[in-house]
Structure 1
């Protein structure tokens, strides 16, 4: 194993190990449907204080803190970029109350618990209490997908996490600036002057950085291939310039810069945000592995009964009390208030920012600042594990689940789409049929299929539709270009393996063929919109058939030679769409959904209209 001159793992090998552990933990968590933060915590503690393989302070020396500082700055910048004020204005009253009333109350309650229960001084409690407002959007999103909550409670939890992410970081930054100034200034007047100058300069630099980026990108002063590099260079420059005037004010500057860009209505905003999100995933993974590996055994051993009591007080008092007060006298039912009050998982951002501020406070001579990092780890681990295993059963007890079946979003209101939606509903799946043409939805409304009228890519759809409730997108309008656009644009939301599209009319022509990076996956017999609807006019119908030990996939094929297998619904209710090259496999207890000529003479299966075959 490569070692450095000072002993220990070579820095390059250490960086590779951090990347493998961070990204590998996130991938494994996705495969196992577990909270990624738990696996990253276990991996960091194992290679750090556990086995002693990774010692960040030894491997990276004086570069460790600047590395973490820049990474946290980019993470906070990402938090600012998700806060679009237009979306906030359109949000429900409950969300606004959770942010405007709940966040300050949560800050105060968290600081009080940290002081009176955990035993921290008011300086450390105020800083750590600010960042404890953050409930972790990266943790909430997978939990909501798993729990399948109804739209309103899901929206309350999701928007609170998104909006409070930069708000909590901003609160911690402001509290830290006050602590820094009070500990470094020679008098009260000097402290106030230094704080006002530092925060003012950070705000000006953040606004100037965001304004400069927005104007240059909108005017075309930067080529497309240089937009991302320019954005990151300006981001680091703003952070460094502000930090040089007042220590850690750079975090405030980059958060404001992200806010400005998020509300500038840039045409390239989606591309900037997606690349930034990818970079943030890498940085969050790296920072979390670094911080957990850098924990010493002595620090972990210092977690005593007060740490456990602190976590219990946060879960039982500091989280539910501010939420219940904020949502009082609103139209939110008590069941939803209770669920939101009992759900407050903390995520990687809390650990990253708290760990950084804890080290900075310790450098200022505030000794209990060193306790912030282990307390943050304990809080994150307890809340993620608790809510990861209890959110679904609690929501089910309160009657706030939207069902356990996977949701399917079908774009296009044709006769074939309506028949397909009815077939999926008969199999117990949640379906929504969307179309930008109101007339196209008439037959769907008459059939009782849930519909959404409007452009699925519009901001109104983003606010009104809860995409978390849907696992799969099927783009099936009569406009091939629109199908391709929707499938390409929403693929990052659903996952490219869960986005499907009808075959384009001229797809097989080399002159009209599109790159494989555009559009969705084919399914069924890979037929066009017009071919499928022509078969509907000829009397074709959807039919579900059970596979058993006595009736196998081969038996089904022999009995339905002309039918097209469209999908398979497993015993657990999971849906798998079949592509033109997919073979039907024997799965006892599964249901095959096929599309073929209506044959009431067949003994196995049920047609979509309910007639037994």
Structure 2
């Protein structure tokens, strides 16, 4: 099969698996592994090694480097105010204990040669941002355990690679000169890691200096950044194998904490690149698996995998966090969630070949064993993360909520209705005075500027999957919607008022605006005027007997439908561009005049129906 066709197949399978995961709620990594395995060893649609040859390994290595850099950009030191001690413990004590327990399990349970078990135990330290971050994205976990898992995954990826390098270099040294000690191996490797980290930091400083000063034009910023990451990775790897992973991680974390404002504009692009890389690499690696790689599997390997899940990880977390301030329910959650990903497979494949060259026959087992660890941990943790989170009370809001930007009588009245439906709400405003009504009504609020970067770290925004910008300033509302569109979704950010007429030269570009609330596109002045006239929000519960048409008959003629909430908590807005399909069980929220329609008018309209409808619930705010 031609290389171009293989590339197209990889893209289709990877992105298709991501889309299917979005539709079904299944872990995306599981579907990507299944897609690659079916296309490769099962159906034989393509063979990545045959298609790309010697280029496959450097392609995967550079992809992993870019993923780690992108993950490092998401690590802000301000998150460590509540999780710092736990992260430090897991990055030091946790690494040592995880390496020790993993190696012991490999020797005494899996029956691996001690050298192979020790090297593989070092690789098992990694948990992998490529799987942890998608899991956290799909599941609503409280901010502290989610932050700990994210930091551990990104920091320990290069650490696990260095552990494997230390083990391999020691065994190679012993093979060349028996009697060699760790002191001949470890200090040079640590020095190499420090030098690699300094290279990454210097590169970050150079980017942070050049970008804000206009030394790089806007259209070249992304290419320059990606090229710099690749160069840093390659140069650091010339110093020592896998030291490049340390360099790119340090570079990403350093840039994330230098407040380079121009980097915000490229966030959507680098996130898209990360999704493409994760999809492609997982498909390529799983399609490269051969039936011969699993021929060594037996019951002892099965027990080893169970030990990783139920002994090694729990013991590592519990012992590492002894005496810390992390509550026990969160410790138990951390003890269960440890899916492995791309880095484990990539590093295992690299060292399997090197161990075989040193004469260790068990080295060949690492490829199949690493895939087995990835599959078992992803399936076990991916399908149980929600259940375990609920059991241990570390799950955030289970129903999607609304973030209201602007504290006005209109937003407060709507927020009360949403709160009564048991969905999370938050009112954000920079004015303490305007927030007075929210405080009076007992609504959750945040006093601060929503566009300030610090807000992302002071607020737990995960429960709010919809944003409504309804301040008095339409241009500001547009700015807020445009800023959050890439994070929440363009179809999940809303604002009052449509653009002005086409003849109006001051009309805001439609492409920057959020979705216009109400099918009629009420503007800020429209709702304020109606609010002053006594208009109210009304909730109407639909049923099989009381459908949407019957609900409209009960409401005043001028009433405007705003949104509906499904029984599972999903919120759908009536906008100028889309109208959701109401069905039994939905709750409709409408914006209505204060007076009810006359009973005679309602009766006359009902009389025109062949089948009159009765019942239902409707209540004014």
Q: List per-residue Cα deviations over 1:409-436 (Å, max 9, x = no partner).
A: 1111111111101111222222122212
Structure 2 residue aligned with 1:544: 539
Q: In the aligned structure 1, how far is the partner of 2:43 from the partner of 2:56?
A: 20
Cα deviation for residue 99 of structure 1 reads 4.3
| Deviation string, structure 1 residues 177-196 (Cα, Å, up to 9, x no partner) | 32453355566587567536
TM-score by length of 1: 0.89
Alignment counterpart, residue 590 of structure 1, candidates 575, 580, 586: 586
Change (3 A) 1:241 1:393: closer
Q: Output one character per residue of 1:96-138: Cα deviation in whole Å (capped at 9) or x when no partner.
A: 5444543443343333333332334455444443443444445
- What stretches of structure 2 of length at least 5 have no aligned partner? 600-614
Select 1:571's aligned residue among 558, 564, 567: 567
Equivalent-residue separation in structure 2 for 1:335 and 1:87 (angstroms): 20
8 Å CA contact 2:64, 2:342 repeated in 1:
no
Aligned residue number for residue 11 of structure 1: 3
The yes-or-no answer on 1:27 pairing with 2:19 is yes
Matches within 5 A, 1:302-313: 302-313=296-307
Is the Cα contact below 8 Å between 1:543 and 1:605 reproduced in 2? no
The range that moved more, 326-335 or 541-550, is 326-335
DSSP 3-state at the match of 2:508: coil
Whether the 8 Å CA contact 2:158–2:249 is kept in 1: the answer is yes
| Equivalent residue number for residue 525 of structure 2 | 530
Residue in 1 aligned with 2:74?
Answer: 82
Cα deviations across residues 443-476 of structure 1 (Å, max 9, x unaligned)?
1121121112222233443223222222211112
1:564-591 Cα shifts (integer Å, max 9, x gaps): 1011112333211111354464512222
Q: 1:315 and 2:272 equivalent?
A: no
Once the two structures are TM-superposed, the CA of residue 595 in structure 1 deviates from its matched residue by: 0.6
Kindly state the Cα deviation for residue 201 of structure 1 after the two structures are TM-superposed: 4.2
1:174 to 162, 165, 183: 162
The answer to whether the Cα contact below 8 Å between 2:129 and 2:154 also exists between their aligned partners in 1 is no
d(CA) in 2 for partners of 1:203 and 1:243?
12
Match for 2:377 among 383, 400, 417? 383
From 326, 334, 344, the equivalent of 1:332 is 326
Q: Distance in 2 between matches of 1:351 and 1:250?
A: 17
Q: Which moved more, 1:562-571 or 1:321-330?
A: 321-330
- Kept in 1, the 8 Å contact 2:499–2:509? The answer is no
The 5-angstrom pairing of residues 420-439 of structure 1 reads 420-439=414-433
Question: Using the alignment, how far apart are the partners of 2:517 and 2:347 within structure 1?
Answer: 45
Cross-structure match for 2:34: 42
Residues 1:176 and 1:384: Cα distance change in structure 2 (over 3 Å):
closer
Q: Are residue 276 (structure 1) and residue 257 (structure 2) matched? A: no
Match of 2:44 among 38, 41, 52: 52
Q: State the distance in 1 between where 2:365 and 2:616 align.
A: 66
Report the CA distance shift for 1:403/1:60 in structure 2 as closer, same or farther (over 3 A).
closer
**What's 1:6 paired with?**
none
2:26 touches 2:383 (CA, 8 Å); kept in 1?
no
Q: Please report how far the alpha carbon of residue 516 of structure 1 lies from its aligned counterpart in structure 2 after TM superposition.
A: 3.5
1:156–1:344 distance in 2 versus 1, CA, 3 Å: farther
Q: Distance in 2 between matches of 1:261 and 1:402?
A: 29
2:61 is equivalent to residue 69 of structure 1: yes
Q: Does 1:580 align with 2:580?
A: no
> Are 2:258 and 1:264 equivalent residues in the alignment?
yes
Gaps of 5+ in 1: 1-8
SS for the counterpart of 2:511 is coil
For residues 252 and 548 of structure 1, do their structure 2 counterparts lie closer, same or farther at Cα, with a shift above 3 Å needed? closer
Q: Deviations over 1:226-271 (max 9, x none)?
A: 1111122222222222333433333333233323323332122223
Q: Name the CA distance, whole Å, in 2 between partners of 1:81 and 1:130.
A: 25
User: C-alpha distance in 2, partners of 1:337/1:507?
Assistant: 57
Structure 1 segments, 4+ long, off by >6 Å, are none
Matched residue, 1:606: 618
Alpha-carbon separation, structure 1, partners of 2:46 and 2:389: 41
**Structure 1 pair 326–176 and aligned structure 2 pair: CA distance change class (3 A):** closer
Tell me the C-alpha RMSD between the 2 structures.
2.8
Deviates more, 1:600-609 or 1:21-30: 600-609
